[in-house]
């Protein structure tokens, strides 16, 4: 019996070892062995020479890349949940299916959001840094390193999809009041469990919150959702957390709001022009800035690889991959 030819799969970044090994067994893999993003030239070449391309958030999959795939590229199996770096319209027009890896990174991303929600008001990074630099010589004092508590405070979640809900569940156990903004309210089963209050008007919600957490996808509608005007509506003591996408915020406006103390603090895992970070953000004690680590656990990254392989296998076997991302439709579970 003639053996089946293996599907040509291009992997743009170094992936977790179990994912890499399994993919090498299953597919005819073309891999970027370095831990850096492919050059544009190499990305176009990879797209031109495989049936399935596995990009990550660091690859811009625009019309040029999609066209480079010609008649051979059939599936963009993204390693990650967000697909804002992929031109979904062009993919759909060129009959290329797009899949992602939702669910498996929800809990870890929510944990990191919670870590930022704690780190900013409790001054955790500032305290640790101070100690390292020998600033604890005088010892404890009743008025030293005072922060603000989370209990009883209002948390406004922007985007009540999977991650937003997981953040809400965690924040409830810290005694926070849960408020949220979405295009549509979530089901009453979910809002009752989370005791979450729906705000159809984002501006109105922002004005009343102590903390805001951004958990919505980036799209044309949400680009610079948080701009100067909206920031000016937040109470001066409020803290903004972003573990979603940097381009949701006008970063210059954020810097200004923080510098002028219009906003008390920010916890950021993502940036408008990633991997560049506006230098002023790194100089402010009231900002905790992390390098896009939301899903960065061995467990989540391995599960993302597994999910990506399941999508590719379903596709090559002629079935519908479970995590298809349809242009013009929000991903299942993303309500924003």
For residue 301, indicate whether it is catalytic.
no
Nearest to ligand 8YV of 81, 303 (CB atom)? 81
The two structure tokens encoding residue 36: 């850096």
- Min separation Cβ 171 and ligand 8YV, Å: 20
User: What is the smallest separation between the CB atom of 82 and ligand 8YV, expressed in angstroms?
Assistant: 3
Please say if 184 is a catalytic residue.
no
Work out whether 79 is an interface residue with ligand 8YV (CB under 6 A).
yes
Residue nearest to ligand 8YV (CB): 80
Catalytic residue among 13, 123, 162, 292: 292
156 sits near ligand 8YV (criterion: CB under 6 A): no
- Between CA 56 and CA 32 the distance in angstroms is 12
CB atoms within 10 A of CB 40: 12
Tokens of 273: 């022009």
Rounded distance between C-alpha atoms, residue 91 and residue 73, angstroms: 10
Q: Which range in 74-82, 198-206, 248-256, 310-318 contacts ligand 8YV by CB under 6 A?
A: 74-82
Find out whether the peptide bond into 275 is cis, omega within 30 degrees of 0: yes
Q: Does 105 bind ligand 8YV (CB under 6 A)?
A: yes
336 binds ligand 8YV (CB under 6 A): no
Spatial distance between the Cα atoms of 135 and 212, rounded to a whole number of angstroms:
31
Q: For residue 72, give Cα distances in angstroms to 181, 281, 318.
A: 42, 44, 16
Quote the strand ranges of the chain, DSSP E: 8-11, 28-31, 52-54, 75-77, 97-99, 154-158, 177-181, 196-198, 211-214, 239-242, 265-268, 287-289
Contact range with ligand 8YV by CB under 6 A, out of 14-22, 73-81, 128-136, 181-189: 73-81
Based on the shown chain and the rule CB under 6 A, indicate whether residue 271 belongs to the binding site for ligand 8YV: no
Place of tokens 């958030």: 57
Tokens (6 digits) for 103: 């669910």
Interface residue with ligand 8YV among 69, 80, 121, 321 (CB under 6 A) is 80
294 binds ligand 8YV (CB under 6 A): yes
110 near ligand 8YV (CB under 6 A): no
- The yes or no reply on residue 182 touching ligand 8YV (CB under 6 A) is no
For ligand 8YV, which stretch binds (CB under 6 A), given 2-10, 80-88, 123-131, 138-146? 80-88
Do residues 47 and 65 make contact, with C-beta atoms less than 8 angstroms apart? yes
- Who's near 327: CB < 8 A, 6+ residues apart? 88, 89, 91, 92, 98
81 binds ligand 8YV (CB under 6 A): yes
Q: Which residue's CB is nearer to ligand 8YV, number 191 or number 213?
A: 213
Q: Is residue 56 at the binding interface for ligand 8YV, with CB under 6 A as the rule? A: yes
Collapsed DSSP state (helix, strand, coil) of residue 312: helix
Closest CA to 249 of 261, 241, 239, 259: 241
Tell me whether residue 237 is one of the annotated catalytic residues: no
Out of 47, 50, 53, 57, the only residue in the binding site for ligand 8YV (CB under 6 A) is 57
Residue 57 or 206 with smaller CB distance to ligand 8YV:
57
| Residues binding ligand 8YV (CB under 6 A) | 56-57, 79-82, 105, 294-295
């Amino acid at each position: 019996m003639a053996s089946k030819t293996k599907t040509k799969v291009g992997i743009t970044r170094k992936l977790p070892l179990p994912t890499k090994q399994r993919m090498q067994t299953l597919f005819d893999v073309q891999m970027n062995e370095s831990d850096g993003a492919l050059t544009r030239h190499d990305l176009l070449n990879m797209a031109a020479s495989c049936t399935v391309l596995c990009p990550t958030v660091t690859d811009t999959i625009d019309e040029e890349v999609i066209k480079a795939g010609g008649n051979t590229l059939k599936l963009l199996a993204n390693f990650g949940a967000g697909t804002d770096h992929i031109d979904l319209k062009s993919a759909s027009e060129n009959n290329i299916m797009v899949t992602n890896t939702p669910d498996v990174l929800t809990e870890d991303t929510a944990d990191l959001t919670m870590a930022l929600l704690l780190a900013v008001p409790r001054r955790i990074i500032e305290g640790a840094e101070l100690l390292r630099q020998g600033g604890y010589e005088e010892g404890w004092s009743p008025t030293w390193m005072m922060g603000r508590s989370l209990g009883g405070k209002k948390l406004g979640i922007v985007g009540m999809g999977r991650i937003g809900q997981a953040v809400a569940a965690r924040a409830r156990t810290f005694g926070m009041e849960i408020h949220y903004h979405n295009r549509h309210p979530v089901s009453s089963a979910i809002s009752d469990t989370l005791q979450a209050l729906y705000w159809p008007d984002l501006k109105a919600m922002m004005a009343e919150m102590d903390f805001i957490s951004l958990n919505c996808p980036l799209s044309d509608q949400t680009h610079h959702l948080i701009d100067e005007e909206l920031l000016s509506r937040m109470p001066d003591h409020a803290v903004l957390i972003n573990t979603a996408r940097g381009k949701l915020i006008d970063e210059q406006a954020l810097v200004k709001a923080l510098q002028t103390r219009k906003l008390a603090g920010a916890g950021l895992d993502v940036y408008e022009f990633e991997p560049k970070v506006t230098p002023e953000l790194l100089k402010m004690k009231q900002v905790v800035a992390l390098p896009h680590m939301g899903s960065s656990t061995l467990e989540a990254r391995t599960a993302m690889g597994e999910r990506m392989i399941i999508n590719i296998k379903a596709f090559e076997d002629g079935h519908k991959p479970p995590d298809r991302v349809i242009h013009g439709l929000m991903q299942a579970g993303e309500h924003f």
